[in-house]
Structure 1
């Protein structure tokens, strides 16, 4: 059964995630005796790549971030990846994957988007276009249509389903979708609500009124005594449980012999303007939740982990400097993380731009030196055997000069 709804572009970008089926094993993969799985995880809100994966070997790193700079020593030492790069200590599962050659870090990367609007940045990230509002379909859905069909995964028809009530833009297109939602959704923080209200009071007053009414309703104590936390957002335990449930469920379906082979989901909350908490606060808690989600994916994909590649991407990075409220503002360069048993992993890939003031993009951001589309093209070409011409012309239009990053898949 296909989900029949007509969500707005706003809904598509706010959707919590989706997992949809490719009914056939790609022909070339089948001929090679392979049955690849591919999952994309969108980290919505702009991940601080420098806080997640720190350039501890850069001579300007400590002076740039001061007491907030991760290091290999101290109360919360970072986890060493190589002589130059270290991982946030909240992610020991990812560290073990890296040591087992099941993870790759691509640093100083970004989409072609160079402004700092969340909605436009997410649009470019998920549509695969060079500018926002250029398409109502997503690159992941379009690549499925370009794959050469091999044998059916399920002789009785494909199983197609979505994680979350609204299909995000990355998965929109001709592939039919079914819906699955977690029993408990993740509560929306007061900060997120206020930012949406500020945006829509200018662009969509009716939606702003609706959001205002909704916020009032959630603040009313219910008869059973259940209500939102006074802080207005989910607790760390709620975030960890939600991330693990959504990611783990996606993995269980992908691991089924007659289940889907390609999917996507979104994990929100990465907009850290204030009190970021790199090692003991909000960002650390989010990274720990993401680390749990990666562990759930690996555990539930266990029978086919060796056939699996998972790409974790975000719309842009954050400022190189900490701001006056102990947070970071919207930036440019960030990290892309790839995990899976199908990888040629245990590597950090970076054309490192340096952190001297003269090397920062517009004197404030980590400069992007790797196009995220090159990373995604490399995965889609080598793992799913998508053709380069289709990737350049249909999946990521206008990207003929962006060559696939080779050698990511073992």
Structure 2
């Protein structure tokens, strides 16, 4: 595994050679289709990324967070992309970006741990399997004798754990502490004079450096950008992997979300653009899926943030995507339409998108997907119209 020091000594063109020197020999693969899954851990606020800006209910539910004016790039007169994602507009206009609002797995509670585990294990319930659905899918592509999989991040996510051998790449050994963690620590210690004083002093000591770091690409976000560039080069290589899993932290925006989330969205957009650029001609055979464990509340909270919700947003990018459209059903934001009177109703299932990618893009047999990858989802059909025929 390469560390940060070694990576930064390499030119972009030298990554493949360095990995070969380190003993990472990639096997020949079946087909040229690529798939990249980007996991936004923490719960992306779909209404902030893809805003129904023309809906009066949206503005009523979010008096301070609703996007308007130059904060949003209109798509169809009702929905608009957050301006922080404007780097993706050329993809949308080229038919290489599709957006699926009101999307979620079949999980209906609001625990990060359970929601993430269920999305990754693919069994239909939290902790229902010890391996990941994407690892099982790789077995169907090559029987486990070729290393088609690539995990980028400080650890191998459950999504990619299992019998199929994979390659790994990490930039940083440890993630950064995010603002929500510091906020919760402050709440925990506020009634303890000793700890409150120490915590306040520590915050004051690092605040200038923290502010500077946020302005100049936080470490975790720089790591994502580097990972996107590395993933693109490795996936584009003739003998490289074909399936990759990436992740970004920090999407749990309970307070003051607008500035923080805009920075994350801009970094996400740049990462996808970097994938497109780095993959070159292979982009035409690629699907990139961006998803989170759940969405967030339709209404903002008292801290100018949002809380754990249900229906969120999925993005599909790539030359193999039937893009330039908003897919799926949209429930609206009226009081009657909200799930449990608080969340965007989850009308579009992530599992239907997973199945479409596995069968219509990667070419796995539907029977194999039903029996071995998502064995508890026979009632969920692959979504139609997301993958180019």
TM range (shorter): 0.7 to 0.9
8 Å CA contact retained: 2:154, 2:172: no
8 Å CA contact retained: 1:188, 1:233: no
8 Å CA contact retained: 2:224, 2:247: no
Q: Which residue of 1 aligns with 2:384?
A: 406
Q: Which residue of 1 aligns with 2:158?
A: 169
Q: Which residue of 1 aligns with 2:229?
A: 248
Q: Which residue of 1 aligns with 2:254?
A: 273
Aligned residue pair count: 353
SS in 1 for 2:47: helix
**Bigger proportion of residues as helix:** 2
8 Å CA contact retained: 2:107, 2:125: yes
| 2:291 maps to which of 313, 334, 340 | 313
* Matching of residue 385 in structure 1 with residue 379 in structure 2: no
Give me the whole-angstrom Cα distance separating, in 2, the residues matched to 1:148 and 1:337: 27
- Shift of residue 63 of structure 1? 1.6
- Runs (4 or more) in structure 1 with deviation over 6 Å come to 196-199
- Shift of residue 187 of structure 1? 2.1
Q: Which residue of 2 aligns with 1:349?
A: 327
- Shift of residue 194 of structure 1? 7.2
Give me the whole-angstrom Cα distance separating, in 2, the residues matched to 1:299 and 1:397: 36
- Shift of residue 59 of structure 1? 3.9
- Shift of residue 321 of structure 1? 0.5
8 Å CA contact retained: 1:21, 1:158: no
Give me the whole-angstrom Cα distance separating, in 1, the residues matched to 2:215 and 2:175: 11
Give me the whole-angstrom Cα distance separating, in 2, the residues matched to 1:160 and 1:350: 29
- Shift of residue 56 of structure 1? 2.4
Q: Which residue of 2 aligns with 1:331?
A: 309
- Quickly say closer, same or farther: Cα 1:164–1:386, change in 2 above 3 A: same
Q: Which residue of 1 aligns with 2:15?
A: none
**Root mean square deviation of aligned Cα:** 3.1
| 1:257 maps to which of 210, 234, 238 | 238
Give me the whole-angstrom Cα distance separating, in 2, the residues matched to 1:394 and 1:233: 48
| 2:34 maps to which of 32, 37, 42 | 37
Give me the whole-angstrom Cα distance separating, in 2, the residues matched to 1:242 and 1:186: 10
- Quickly say closer, same or farther: Cα 1:329–1:245, change in 2 above 3 A: same
* Matching of residue 80 in structure 1 with residue 50 in structure 2: no
Per-residue CA deviation, residues 284-320 of structure 1 (Å, 9 max, x unaligned), is: 1111111111111111111311111100010000000
| 1:95 maps to which of 89, 96, 118 | 89
* Matching of residue 66 in structure 1 with residue 63 in structure 2: yes
Q: Which residue of 2 aligns with 1:114?
A: 108
SS in 1 for 2:169: coil
8 Å CA contact retained: 1:187, 1:233: no
Q: Which residue of 1 aligns with 2:14?
A: none
- Quickly say closer, same or farther: Cα 1:116–1:233, change in 2 above 3 A: farther
- Shift of residue 244 of structure 1? 1.2
- Shift of residue 189 of structure 1? 2.0
Per-residue CA deviation, residues 311-357 of structure 1 (Å, 9 max, x unaligned), is: 00100000000100100000000010010011111010131111111
| 1:237 maps to which of 205, 216, 219 | 216
8 Å CA contact retained: 1:70, 1:77: yes
SS in 2 for 1:359: coil
Provide TM-score, normalisation by structure 1.
0.78
